[in-house]
Structure formats: C-alpha cells, structure tokens
Amino acid sequence: MISFKRNWLLKLLLCLLLVYLYYTLAKNDQLSWIGAGERTKPNTTDSTNSNQRLSQSSKSQIVRDVVLAVVACGERLEETLTMLKSCLLFSTKLNLKFIIIADDNLLSDFKERLSDWQQMLNGSFQYEVLPLKFPDKNTDEWRKLFKPCASQRLFLPTILTHIDSLIYVDTDTLFLSSIDLLWRNFNKFNASHMAALAFEHEDSNVSWYSRFAKHPYYGKLGVNSGVMLMNLTRMREFQWEKYVTSVYSQWRTQLTWGDQDIINIIFHYHPEKLYLLECDANYRPDQCTYGPACPPAAEHGAQVLHGSRSAFHSANQPAFSAVHKAAQEYKLGSDPYKNFLVPMLANLRSAPESNCGKLEDAFTKLPRQYLEKTINVE
C-alpha cells in the first residue's frame, strides 16, 4: 500500500514537472518573440526619428534665416538700396531679413521703398528700419567719427538685443553671389570666435596699417570692417561695448579710420575672437589696382564687391563703376540674366582699360554661375 502511494506521488510529481516545463518553455518562447519585436520596434522608431531629423536638417539647410544689417546716413539712400537689391537678386531661396539703421530723414524713404519691394516679391524678405542710437556719453563724437554714423556698427550688439547673429556691410558694397555663401562662415566659427573679417590687404608692403598705423592692429596687416560677420550673442557676453568705449578713450587722437581702427585694436588684444575671411568676401580696388592680389577672387570670383574710397562713383575704377551701374539700373523682379548680367558684361567690356578690368572673372564668374544655374537661359 505504501509502495503504491509512493508510485502515485512520483507520477503526480512527474506530471506536474512536465506541465511546469511545458508552460515555462512556451512562455519563454513567447517572451523571446515579444522581446524581439520590442527590440525591432524601438529601432524602427529610432530610424523614423533619425529620418525626421535628417529631413528637418535638410530643410534647415535649404531655408535659412539670414540677417543683413547696414547703416545709412546723408546721401546714401540710393547706394544702400542698390546693395540690398543685389542681395535679393542672388538670394531668392532664403529667408532674408534686412535691418537698416538710418538718419531720421531717411527712415520714411527706406520704409516706402522696402514695402514696395516686399509686395512685388510676395513677402520673400522681412525688414526693420530703425533710427540711429549712440551712447549717451559723447554722442556727437561717436556720430561724427570717421564718416557720419559709420561708428553705429560698433553698437549693434547693444541695440539689436533680439538678434543672435548678422552680417554687417557698408553701403558701398554689392553682392555678386548668394549671401548664403558668406553666411556659411558662421558654421566655421570655433567656440571662441565672435566675428569674422578679411585682411585690409594681403601684402604688408601695401597695407595701410603696416605702413602708417600709430596704434595696435590685428595681425601683420590689419582688417577691413566693410564686411563683418557678427555673433551678437557672443559679443554681448564679451561685453563688447565696454571694450569699444575704453579703446576710444585711450586711442581717440590716433584713430585715422575711426570705427575700423577700434575694431583692429580690440582684435589685436583678442585675436582668438576673430575668424578670418578670404579676400573674395570683401573684394576691393586694393586687390586689383596694382595687379591680382586676391587669388580666391581671380579663381572663383568675388562674393562681395566693396567699392571703398568711392570706387563705384569714380572714373579711376571703371570696372567697379561698370558693375555698380548695372546693379543700380536693374529693375527688381525682372529677368536678372538679361537685365543685370548682360548689361554688366557690356559695361565691363566697354569700360576704359584698367588692371581691375583685366580680371573680368573676378566680377562675373559667380553671377554667371548663379544665374545660369537658377534661370532658364535661352
């Protein structure tokens, strides 16, 4: 009887063990299958998120918020509008914002013309027109430093607190390519850079700073401030305005080029804060009057033409004035190939011979490439 009970218990235990093993294995298989699905699902989600991020990244590369600032006083209305028109001509696929800081008597003119352009181009750009604003101390001195209101650029970090970064240009500049090419230099900044400028000249034997300056300046050549990339956020963190006013107090009697000299002095003592642009980003008569002195422009074309020392309006620089005339006469919204590029080429080829004129590619290569790529040329 005892033996029978033991056998029965052993059989019962064996049955229970088999049932246990069956359900355990089945459960493990199910968990293993579910686990595989869960592992696959997050990967699919990650892939989707990754694709979304790539898509968003691609969109951000195509559609950029690009801010261009300029300061205009006196008789600079038409010259400034010609510069802005050249920027619009080559930047049709960007989110552009213009910031114009001007004399009180120019504010309404700028607003009227820009409003007309905005309607004509279906709101393809935004703009702000602001009055001049200098520090309360030495206001008149700041306003008259070098040229009327030229020093306003020194105070953009303080004035434009709602702007992170921008490109500042003088009124006597012209874009010969998309402003996006210039804007991309912000991506090359390291953690220290807060601004970008090009050298005043590429040859120390010709550079004004290396020959005549009586104050410190950047590097061996000094920099030109006509085209300046500004990370205003970093400049505010640097307390830029305090440096500006301090430098002015110390060197005010030895400043020949006003605000540009102040910028040079600051970056002399803080060279790690400056990113250097190539000379094709600020192509001036100095780069061609005595022969080719800017290889990037000669090879690839100038991105921004800077008609310093009245080059756009002087018979001494026929190539510069030829290009400016074509930009000035171009009617915004019309065919830029037929109504800008063709007249520009004709102006250059009919202009009196000059060293700068011999370097035609520097003036025409990028406009031709851009317009032939974006417009159906018959």
**Average pLDDT per 10 consecutive residues for the chain, totaling 378 residues:** 54 60 45 31 33 35 74 96 97 92 97 97 95 93 88 97 97 97 98 98 86 95 97 98 97 94 98 98 95 95 96 96 98 96 98 97 97 72
pLDDT tens track for 248-305: 999 999 999 999 999 999 999 999 999 999 999 999 999 999 999 999 999 999 999 9
Q: Delineate the domains of the chain, giving CATH numbers in brackets.
A: 62-281 (3.90.550.10), 286-374 (no CATH)
Q: Hey, which bits of 158-282 come out as E strands?
A: 165-169, 173-175, 195-199, 223-231, 274-277
The whole-number pLDDT of residue 271 equals 98
Give the separation between CA 33 and CA 24, rounded to whole angstroms: 14
Whether the CB-CB separation of 153 and 145 falls below 8 Å is answered with no
Whether the CB-CB separation of 156 and 176 falls below 8 Å is answered with no
CB atoms within 10 A of CB 360: 13
Query: Looking at this protein, which amino acid is placed at residue 151?
Result: S
Give the separation between CA 235 and CA 226, rounded to whole angstroms: 18
Helix (H, G, I), strand (E, B), or coil: what is residue 67? strand
Whether the CB-CB separation of 263 and 241 falls below 8 Å is answered with no
Distance of CA 118 to the CA centre of its chain: 21
CB atoms within 10 A of CB 112: 11
The whole-number pLDDT of residue 2 equals 47
Beta strands 65-72 and 165-169: pairing type? parallel
Q: What are the residues whose beta carbons fall under 8 Å from the beta carbon of 2, sequence distance 6 or more?
A: none
